[in-house]
Structure 1
Amino acid sequence: MCRSIKTLHNFEPPATEDEIQAAALQFVRKLSGFTKPSKANEEAFSLAVEQVAAAARSLLDALVTNAEPRNRETEIERARAKSAKRFGTEI
């Protein structure tokens, strides 16, 4: 899975359309192997991003959980600490 695609479920505030769009774009880039498609593939690429974003929004809207919503700031700090431990650097 793409490391730059982040979990979007169960956050307060909920995932924004921009976050969903960014995740969809990264997913389509990974599948297609293109960072930026050629003119010949641009329409298919854009359509795929739109469809993946719509599917992601539908999934996020349908998911249910009993867990407390996660705090974005706390998750960012956890990720930084994990990265510092993994790579041995101060962040």
Structure 2
Amino acid sequence: MPRRIVDRMCRSIHTLHNFEPSATSEEVHAAALQYVRKISGSTKPSKANQEAFDRAVHEIAHITQHLLNDLVAVVPPKNREEEAAKARARAVASGRYSAA
């Protein structure tokens, strides 16, 4: 039986659904870029792969925006600043981040 490797999603990709204010097009593009980088294994594609890389980022950002527009939330939206403060507090508590 093949060994399965379970990896966490790229830490640079954050939840974009059900926040107030809504995700910006820049945030959607950044998530798409991180996704393509992760699955391609490349942060900077070669010249031969640049067009395919850029097209993938564009298409993933486009469909991601459609997904976010179509999702229905059943709970009130979260506040971005409050969630960011909670994440920083968790990082400090775990020793992954030092408050300077």
Structure 2-normalised TM-score? 0.87
- In the TM superposition, what are the counterparts of 1:78-89 in structure 2 within 5 Å? 78-87=86-95
- Deviation of 1:77 (Å): 0.5
| Structure 1 outlier segments of 4+, above 2 Å | none
Residues 20-51 of structure 1, C-alpha deviation per residue, up to 9 Å, x if partnerless? 00000000000001101000000000000001
Aligned to 2:77: 69
Structure number with larger C-alpha Rg: 2
CA RMSD, 1 decimal: 1.1
Q: Secondary structure at the match of 2:56?
A: helix
Change (3 A) 1:11 1:89: closer
Q: Which runs of 5+ in 1 are unaligned?
A: none
Aligned to 1:49: 57
Structure 1-normalised TM-score? 0.95
Aligned length: 91
What percentage of aligned pairs have identical amino acids? Answer: 55
Asked whether 1:38 is paired with 2:46, we answer yes
Q: Whose helix fraction is larger, Structure 1's or Structure 2's? A: 1
